Amino acid sequence: MSEFRRIPPQQAQALRTQGAVVVDIRDPQSYALSHIAGAYHLDNHSLADFMAQADFEQPLIVACYHGNSSQGAAAYLAEQGFAEVYSLDGGFELWRATFPDEVAQGEADQP
């Protein structure tokens, strides 16, 4: 699959329980304030390390603020060879409203 699909938080949560990886592309300060539990902070500095360690067959969910920027990042990651890439509709803001117990705080989690 060289394309990505947009999915709502409920579908993203179901994929997470099946082992999907979540990456958060927001700025480091926003990520540190709160992010989807277990999400990796992905930016230009961490991309190479993330890709070197990634399982390209594992589903990958990309989250941003509101679900707009994640679409470009998801398309890029799909082009890099990830088999199953999703963009989180509504982004972190809708996720936080939908699953408040699935939000963590602190520095970046890394793979």
pLDDT digit string, tens, across residues 32-73:
999 999 999 999 999 999 999 999 999 999 999 999 999 999
Matching residue, tokens 């991309």:
47
- Average pLDDT value over all residues in the chain: 94
- Superfamily the domain 5-104 falls into: Rhodanese-like domain (3.40.250.10)
Its pTM stands at 0.93
- Among the options 22, 61, 63, 64, which is catalytic? 64
Quote the pLDDT of residue 1: 47
41 and 70 Cβ atoms separated by less than 8 Å:
no
Contacts of 96 (CB under 8 A, 6+ apart): 34, 103
> Confidence class of residue 108 from pLDDT cuts 50, 70 and 90?
low
What is the C-alpha to C-alpha distance for residues 76 and 70, in angstroms, rounded to an integer? 10
Is 78 assigned a catalytic role? no
Domain residue spans of the chain: 5-104
